[in-house]
Structure 1
Amino acid sequence: MLSSPPPTSPPTSSSPPPPPQTVTSDRRRIAMETYWREVQSIEEEKEGEEEEDEEDERKSIDEVELEEAWLTEAGLSSLVMGSSSEEASPPAAEALLSTLTRQQVATVRKRLDNYNETLKTRNRQPIRDVRDVFTEPDDDSADQCPAPPAHPAESPPRRYPSTTKTIRRNAHRVRPTLPAFLFEDGLPEHPPSPTNTHSPTNTLSHSRRADWLLRDSPYSEGVAEHKRGGTCWDCQSFYGGENGDLPFVPVSPSQGLTWADDLSLRDLIRVGFISHIELSTFLVTLGVQTKRTRLPRCRTRDSGVFGVPLELLLENDRKRFPGVRVPVVFQKLLCILESSLHTEGILRVPGSAARLKYLRRELDSCRGGFDWPAVRQVDASGLLKLFIRELPTPLLTHTHLSTYRAVLGVSSVVHQVQALQLLSLLLPEANRETLSALLVFLRKVVSHQDQNRMSLWNVSMVMAPNLFSFHRRPKRSVARQREEMEEAVGGAHLVRLMITHQDLLWTVPSFLLSQVRHMNQASNQKLFRLTKTKRLLLRRKNDKNQITELCEGVIRVHAPLHTKVSMAIQLDGQTRARDVTARFERDNSPVQRLYEVGGNISERRLHPDCVLLDVYRVNPRCDWLIKP
């Protein structure tokens, strides 16, 4: 583990426990004191309230339920539900399994085997034998992610009929070369998002390039050396305690960097299926075991602010503010705190418990007419942490909390970041957006540490007991004290990693996007398996809507909201998405983005710097759509 041995004398409830003796740095010692003060403050706020029995929360889940839940989260519920329908779960299990590598298939087979064996021990007939699922033998070709074919056998009909002539552009004209896209190092004023364009900076000496985002092979394939007791390339290149706080910056491939928000809901669900399988395979390959516990019974409320599910809060907020993605009360608290970033001890200094209870009652009773200007910085800090703790489902979700803790068993920082990235892609949209807003704010707090005296470790220690539910019993053994210290240091370490490398958490790796494309292609080929007569009729119908056939390397861009409804453009190696959207822009018009729609993807918003010719080669049958 990443923690140190426990102190020789147990900490008491009246005073924070001393830091571990092995910590020699004054900064780390102060940070540990900050952690225990935060725990004590949380316990004081809970005085007089009924708490659920900790043992009930830690009951192990039944073996059959465990495997069934795992297969369901992997999009393979049809394998355990006994359904004969091919469309029992979108996507079909066959389409999903066809995208997996050999190691990922081995993970699924092991889970399904364990599920069936457990049923047999209980004298129950297995619903589906594993040999009926994996009928094809493994070979070396399954080691790599299958790339989507250059031209699908039969593509779905175009959604946007073409009604304009082809405009041939000079394919050999020279354009000024644009630099490769790279996140700015440092602490931007606004959170990084697909809608913000970042200019490249020469700050690579203060950061590390996450080149592993560009690989076509999954993370689990790159750590095979760990099984043989060796060290993989990532560990040799990036390992080092002194560089733990240097951020990994995402490096964009030629097809453009893809964030979770760039994908449609359908594709994002499929990303979650593959991420779930890959995360399990990755951790098992690294020798890390995860243990899921039964979901605790949570008391939820239907009204108010605190103790209300995020989805319900957003549903209520969207009635007044359409399109809001983070609860309004959460945004209000962040705004108050952002106006006081220079305040010493922000987030650390506790407010009055009595005033905090009063403000909580006021917020729960009158959300619309609450007097926000009367809320002080110290009150906003307490309300923000209270809001996070009182969520019925934790911000990191009950399902994945144990996996977050299991990441601490990974020895290499780069592999911990990769595991956190896969975990972040599994979070529900409301949790993902709220966590993103929180991490952006915490990074701003750290950027003002010269004024507020809140270093990265201070901020991590304050937020860890709020994000990771921490329980402390008055009577505990030496082993329990050691476990508490491990939870303290480990939780703070995870928060530190998420703050430092937050730009990577919402980035979809190239191999995941490639597997989603292959899954969509496999589903489309099955869905559009038409007879020769139907294909001929469909081709004739499409020919009526198109004056001339597009040549190789020519795309037709559709802009339904513009006077130029359609335009055909000849692509070359320098044509970028920003070049196409510039042709449709007008003065005072909203920002327009280019989307890749159909073919082997449902919908993907393209980054302005992506090379369109490379996107065209990967998905030649897609439509190109411009919209806000």
Structure 2
Amino acid sequence: MSRQQAAQGVVLTGYTSNSAALPQPHGAAPLSRRMGQYNIQRSRPGEKPPYQRCNSQDSLDELALADYWKEVEIISGDSETQEEVQLKVADEGEQEEAWLMEAGLATLFDESAVDGEDSFVLLSTLTRTQTAAVQRRVETLKQTLRKRNKPYSVPDVRDIFKPPPQQDSKDDESASTGGSEDRKKETTSGVGNGAEPVAEAETDINLEVSFSEQALSYREGSKGLEPVQEADDGLPDFKVVRDKTGLTKVGALCGADMKKVRRLVLIEMTALFDTAAIDLKTHKPLKIKVKESGLFGVPLSTLLEQDQKRLPGARVPLIMQRLISHIEEEGLHTEGLLRVPGSSTRVKAVCQELELKFYDGLFSWETLKQHDAASLLKLFIRELPHPLLTVEYFSAFVSVLKFPTKKQQLQALNLLVLLLPEPSRDTLKALLEFLQRVIDHKDQNKMTLNNVAVVMAPNIFMFKGFRSKITEQQEFAMATGMATIVRLLIRYQNLLWTIPKFVMVQVRKQNMENQRKMNRDHAVRKLLKKMAYDREKNNEKSEKNCEAEGGFIRVQAPQFSKVSMAVQLTEELQASDILSRFLSQDSSISVKREDLCLYEIGGNIKERCLDEETYMKALLELNPSAEWVIKSIQR
């Protein structure tokens, strides 16, 4: 079976109460026989198993799957009784309604919906492919309500995307980011009209142009795809095209701007799947009984609430952090780490002991063996009552392999990672970083990227209680697909936790337009309230403007003894240079360099922790009203 066939056949799966109840394809052979169909060379008694044997995609498809089926057998054998879970897809209309609500566009079908943000401000920043995605959902919802003879107030899509009905002046109109002509010019630049983004190699990830717009240009046949030189592990060496205004990583933005990011990413992800003609059905959230306390089998949100009472600000479950720390302390060189299972009897006993003693600090970590600790880590991940990748986006993750190129698969994964709830995203990041450290020691532990991906795939993609009647061909495709997705997640994790610049540009436009509307709607009241305040600040503003015009910026540091300093701008001045200068001028600072960040605050962004390679002059041109503040990073 080819890789393309495998990608098309990927389906959801899970495990149940015991090995006899493992979801078996109709008429499928036993596990051992299925492993034999791949001509696996099994080790003889006394011989070491052939750990390192997959260095290409072909070997992943054929040889390495033995480890996958062994892992499935371990998982199914260790499972406790669990009620079966039925995954349900939302009905047509219901799905579109939920999507519009999540995208912050509930007012398009419910005039009584209340949201702090203006839906039409969001709509005014969308690209043509994003606009088409919204139009499609609105029109489907409208048609569904009409078929059901239900009253509806869904506006015509042609009315939704009209320019704002009133502007104070021509100057106001030309400066507005909401005009449809401006949007058309911005979103079609370099894409969609037979033109590729300039000087972009196939291994470059362009974060400045909407991914769905890029996909549209490929679909329209603007340029044949160039063959990509693959690395030793079968995956290309993709790189992000850096921008002078700096990359924005997850965690660098405040909550208000991150909320805008998530809504825009949902629309963009949907537009990308639409452009590639990949049908995407989201599943309803699971309604199951869950444990309200403990360590294993507890929802991430509940577990983090427990942990934050003991360690404020904890973002990754403490038990998971401790297991990873123990494995690394004992050494990542252990041969077959993650692949060789621990003793099932010991693992079960340790699990029960941890439940009783972990929070009291009474557990004897020195007695825990490496393979048992690795088995406990895998157990923790797969015992989560809600999958780490979430039920809502589970099928989207699996469908990523339907995209025709690796670049598009990565773009889709990037958007899906950004859509994950914060606890899932942070936990997944910690897991992938650990897996990469395991791979970094492959010469000692014999665990290559492919080996790790194959072993971890069932633990990430299979979850308790769900069953699916699938064919044998689908089962093999599912195994290959899951392992391939985990490979992508591990290999390109630095890219996947980056917020694309085109999304950041849209966030800035929304902030600008919301600020303009607020100023316009409340001008008189604000004027009366702030006349005295404005007079007081007038001299300070003038000083700031004079500094900017003279090639200087004022950097504030209210947390530290050196409250502020003037910094002269040059073409090459980066955020890292400002931090270095600040530390060199204040010897009393005890905070580590890596715990400090230069923040961009105000103007067209709420708050953003700057990438140290940000060129300050370029960023000042993008956000001339911003203030610059050095403070400790909130981890």
Shift of 1:27: 6.3
SS at match of 1:575: coil
Paired residue secondary structure (1:524): helix
Once residues 520 and 139 of structure 1 are traced to their aligned partners in structure 2, the CA distance between those partners, rounded to angstroms, is 18
Q: CA deviation at 1:261?
A: 1.2
Q: Kindly state the Cα deviation for residue 452 of structure 1 after the two structures are TM-superposed.
A: 1.7
CA positional deviation for 1:352: 2.2
Q: Residue 133 of structure 1 corresponds to which residue in structure 2?
A: 160
Say which SS state the counterpart of residue 625 (structure 1) adopts: strand
Deviation at 1:145, TM superposition (A): 4.5
State the alpha-carbon separation in 2 of the partners of residues 50 and 12 from structure 1: 23
Residue-by-residue CA offset, 1:571-592 (whole Å, 9 max, x unaligned)? 2212221232233323352133
Q: What is the aligned-residue RMSD (CA, Å)? A: 3.1
SS at match of 1:555: strand
* SS of the residue 2:419 aligns to: coil
Superimposed CA distance per residue, residues 90-143 of structure 1 (whole angstroms, 9 cap, x where no aligned partner): 322111111101121111011011112111111111133134422349966434
Cα distance in 1 between the residues matched to 2:156 and 2:148? 18
Partner of 1:155: none
Q: Shift of residue 502 of structure 1?
A: 0.8
Distance 1:49 1:617, change over 3 A: same
What amino acid is aligned across from residue 315 of structure 2 in structure 1?
R
CA distance, structure 2, for counterparts of residue 472 and residue 10 of structure 1: 20
Q: Does 1:458 align with 2:451?
A: yes
Instruction: Tell me the amino acid that sits aligned with residue 83 of structure 1.
Output: S
1:80 aligns with 2:109: yes
Letter in 2 for 1:261: G
- Tell me: CA distance 1:145–1:83, structure 2 relative to 1, closer, same or farther (3 Å): farther
Asked whether the 8 Å contact 2:307–2:314 carries over to 1, the reply is yes
> In 1, distance between residues paired with 2:102 and 2:326?
38
Aligned to 1:618: 622
Check conservation: 1:348, 1:462, Cα contact below 8 A: yes
Q: Is the 8 A contact 1:13 1:474 kept in 2?
A: no
Q: Which amino acid in the other structure matches residue 135 of structure 1?
A: K
1:271-311, Cα deviation, whole Å (9 max, x unpaired): 11111111111111112111222333333211110121212
Q: Which residue of 2 aligns with 1:100?
A: 126
Query: Aligned partners of 1:107, 1:474: CA distance in 2, in Å?
Result: 32
Kindly indicate whether residue 263 of structure 2 is the aligned counterpart of residue 273 of structure 1. Answer: yes
* TM-score when normalising by structure 2: 0.81
Aligned to 2:425: 432
**Cα distance in 1 between the residues matched to 2:624 and 2:93:** 44
| 2:160 partner amino acid | V
Quote the residue 1:142 is aligned against: 183
Q: 1:19·1:32 contact (CA, 8 Å) conserved in 2?
A: no
Tell me the CA shift for residue 37 of structure 1. 0.4
Equivalence for 2:569: 571
AA aligned to 2:343 is S
More divergent stretch after superposition (448-457 vs 261-270): 448-457
Q: CA deviation at 1:324?
A: 2.2
| Secondary structure class of the residue paired with 2:272 | helix
Name 2:387's counterpart in structure 1.
Answer: 394
Deviates more, 1:414-423 or 1:284-293: 284-293
Match of 1:67? 96
Secondary structure, counterpart of 1:236 in structure 2:
coil
Post-superposition offset of 1:410: 0.8
What amino acid is aligned across from residue 95 of structure 2 in structure 1? Answer: L
* Residue identity in the other structure for 2:81: E
Pairing 1:355–2:349 present: no
Matched to 2:410, the amino acid is V
Task: Tell me how far 1:236 sits from its aligned partner.
Answer: 2.4
CA contact (8 A) 1:555 1:568 kept: yes
Q: Is the alpha carbon distance of 1:13 and 1:29 closer, same or farther for their aligned partners in structure 2, counting shifts above 3 Å?
A: closer
Q: Which residue of 1 aligns with 2:613?
A: 609
Q: Which one-letter code corresponds to 2:123 in the other structure?
A: L
Structure 2 gap ranges (5+): 10-24, 41-55, 165-178, 189-200
- CA distance 1:127–1:307, shift in 2 (3 Å): farther
Question: Paired residue for 1:118?
Answer: 144
Structure 1 match to 2:545: 550
Report the CA distance between 1:32 and its aligned residue.
Answer: 0.6
Q: CA deviation at 1:242?
A: 7.4
1:207-286 matched pairs, under 5 angstroms: 211-215=204-208, 217-228=209-220, 230=221, 232=223, 235-236=225-226, 238=228, 244-286=234-276
The aligned counterpart of 2:51 is none
Distance 2:465 2:68 in 1: 13
Superposition deviation, residue 210 in structure 1: 5.9
- State yes or no: 1:109 paired with 2:113: no
Match of 1:45 in 2: 78
Structure 2 Cα separation of the partners of residues 582 and 122 of structure 1: 65
Q: 1 CA distance for matches of 2:465 and 2:611?
A: 47
Counting only pairs closer than 5 Å after superposition, residues 318-397 of structure 1 correspond to structure 2 as 318-338=308-328, 339-368=330-359, 369-397=362-390
Is 1:423 aligned to residue 416 of structure 2?
Answer: yes
Q: Given residue 508 of structure 1, which amino acid in structure 2 is its aligned partner?
A: I
In the alignment, which of 540, 547, 550 is matched to residue 535 of structure 2? 540
In 2, distance between residues paired with 1:347 and 1:62?
Answer: 40
Counterpart contact for 1:255–1:615, Cα < 8 Å: yes
1: distance between equivalents of 2:289 and 2:63?
A: 36
Q: Which runs of structure 2 are paired with 1:522-533 in the superposition (5 Å)?
A: 522-529=513-520, 530-531=522-523
SS of the counterpart of 1:66? Answer: helix
Counterpart of 2:306?
Answer: 316
Q: 2:601 aligns with which of 585, 597, 602?
A: 597
For residues 470 and 245 of structure 1, the distance between their equivalents in structure 2, rounded to whole angstroms, comes to 28
Aligned length: 556
Kept after mapping to 2: 8 A contact 1:439/1:502:
yes
CA contact (8 A) 1:595 1:606 kept: yes
Shift of 1:252: 2.6
Rate the CA distance shift 1:575–1:24 in 2: closer, same or farther, 3 A.
closer
The one-letter amino acid paired with 1:489 is T
| Residues 238 and 518 (structure 1), Cα distance of their counterparts in 2 relative to 1, 3 Å cut | farther
For residues 231 and 26 of structure 1, do their structure 2 counterparts lie closer, same or farther at Cα, with a shift above 3 Å needed?
same
Task: Work out the percentage of aligned pairs sharing the same amino acid.
Answer: 38
Structural mapping, 1:12-27, within 5 Å = 12-13=30-31, 17-20=35-38
Question: What amino acid is the match of 2:399?
Answer: A
SS of the residue corresponding to residue 298 of structure 1 reads: coil
Gaps of 5+ in 1: 148-207
How far apart are 1:428 and its partner, in Å? 1.6
Structure with higher helix content: 2
- Separation in 1, partners of 2:106, 2:513: 18
Mean alpha-carbon deviation: is it higher for 344-353 or for 30-39?
A: 344-353
1:36 lines up with 2:69 in the alignment: yes
1:582 and 2:580 aligned: yes
Taking the aligned partners of 2:604 and 2:27, their CA distance within structure 1 comes to 61
Q: Distance in 1 between matches of 2:542 and 2:127?
A: 43
The Cα of 1:360 is off from its aligned counterpart by 1.8
Change (3 A) 1:378 1:518: same
Structure 2 counterpart of 1:556, one-letter code:
R
Q: Assess, with a 3 A threshold, how the Cα gap between structure 1 residues 542 and 421 changes in structure 2: closer, same or farther.
A: same
Counterpart Cα distance in 2 of 1:79 and 1:264: 27
Q: Deviations over 1:127-165 (max 9, x none)?
A: 331344223499664345579xxxxxxxxxxxxxxxxxx
CA contact (8 A) 1:209 1:251 kept: no
Task: Indicate conservation of the 8 Å contact 1:360/1:383, yes or no.
Answer: yes
Query: Does the CA contact (< 8 Å) of 2:382 and 2:463 recur in 1?
Result: no
Give the 3 Å change call, closer, same or farther, for CA 430–528 of structure 1 in structure 2. same
Aligned-residue offset at 1:463: 0.8
Q: CA deviation at 1:225?
A: 3.7
Match for residue 10 of structure 1? 28
